Amino acid sequence: MIYIVLAMIVIAGIAAYAQWLADKKRREELGAFASARGFRFDPESDRGHDDRYRQFEIFRKGHSRVARNTMTGRIELFGRPCSICCGDFRYKITTSNGKSSSTKTYRFSYLIVHPPWDTPALLIREEGWFDKVAGAFGFDDIDFESDEFSRRFYVKSSDKRFAYDVLHPRMMEFLLSDPPAMIDIEDRAMCLGGGKKLWSPTEFVRKLEYVRRFTELWPRHLVKDLDDA
């Protein structure tokens, strides 16, 4: 029995060391990525992130929530500098059957952009099984002229006119050709991230480019109306 316990301790130690090496390598890679783009990089734990961005459901799951490898800076969108925040997020979920409990850790990356104005809330994500069931009971998302787009995406907004303005035919074609896991706009912030995996530095580059392309497709009349509001 003692040998089994010792073996388990050794295996746990090896796993912990391997995770430490992987985390160290990731910090170095993301630090270099941030430095190359003039972003501020903070690898330390930020336990207030979930409160600052409480409007986004992906940051309110589970317990022991913490952001790490946080990168902040500015990029040009809508023809003007916009602040951004991106990095990694971790949370845990504990389940119990009455006699024992187990805890699972989830980690994912995200990108948050702060547009220059406050807009109505808008959520765009790929439609799932639960959305289809909810639709059968009358809880429909916003439908569009494109049946393909309406079948593929769940769209919710506090202002349908705003949703229709943003999601015009060219925008729908763009989203269908390269579907995002989620785009969520709420309380002067736009969040990209499905809450399922960590991104490599290359993927962060792709997400920054994706946001740029997404915002470039906002119609000029909408941007002008927001500027004049």
Write out pLDDT tens, residues 67-113. 999 999 999 999 999 999 999 999 999 998 877 889 999 999 999 99
Residue 135 scores a pLDDT above 50: no
Q: Please give the average per-residue pLDDT across 17-22, as a whole number.
A: 68
- Structural domain count, the chain: 1
- pLDDT classification of 133: cutoffs 50, 70, 90: very low
Residue 38 scores a pLDDT above 50: yes
The Cα-based distances of 66 to 39, 42, 57 in angstroms read 20, 13, 14
The whole-number pLDDT of residue 137 equals 38
Residue of 134 and 182 predicted with greater confidence = 182
Structure tokens at 36: 């190359």
The whole-number pLDDT of residue 194 equals 82
CA 49-54-60 angle, to 5 degrees, is 85
Distance CA 72, CA 127 (A): 31
Q: Which helix (H) or strand (E) element contains residue 226?
A: helix 220-228
- pLDDT classification of 156: cutoffs 50, 70, 90: very high
Q: Is residue 30 part of a domain?
A: no
Q: Is residue 2 part of a domain?
A: no
Q: Is residue 216 part of a domain?
A: yes
Q: Is residue 191 part of a domain?
A: yes
Structure tokens at 91: 């949370």
Q: Is residue 16 part of a domain?
A: no
What value does the mean pLDDT of the chain take? 89
Q: Please give the average per-residue pLDDT across 18-25, as a whole number.
A: 78
Distance CA 192, CA 208 (A): 10
Q: Is residue 26 part of a domain?
A: no
In tens, the pLDDT along 164-175 reads: 999 999 999 999
Q: Is residue 149 part of a domain?
A: yes
Local structure of residue 178 (DSSP, 8 states): S
Residue 9 scores a pLDDT above 50: yes
Q: Which residue range forms the structural domain that includes residue 188?
A: 40-228
The whole-number pLDDT of residue 139 equals 46
Q: Is residue 25 part of a domain?
A: no
Distance CA 148, CA 173 (A): 10
Distance CA 71, CA 66 (A): 14
Residue 136 scores a pLDDT above 50: no
Q: Please give the average per-residue pLDDT across 120-139, as a whole number.
A: 65
Least confident of 85-94, 105-114, 126-135, 188-197: 126-135
Long-range Cβ pairs for the range 74-77 (8 Å, 24+): 75/113, 75/208, 75/211, 75/212, 77/113, 77/115, 77/211, 77/212, 77/215
Least confident of 18-32, 47-61, 194-208: 18-32
The whole-number pLDDT of residue 88 equals 97
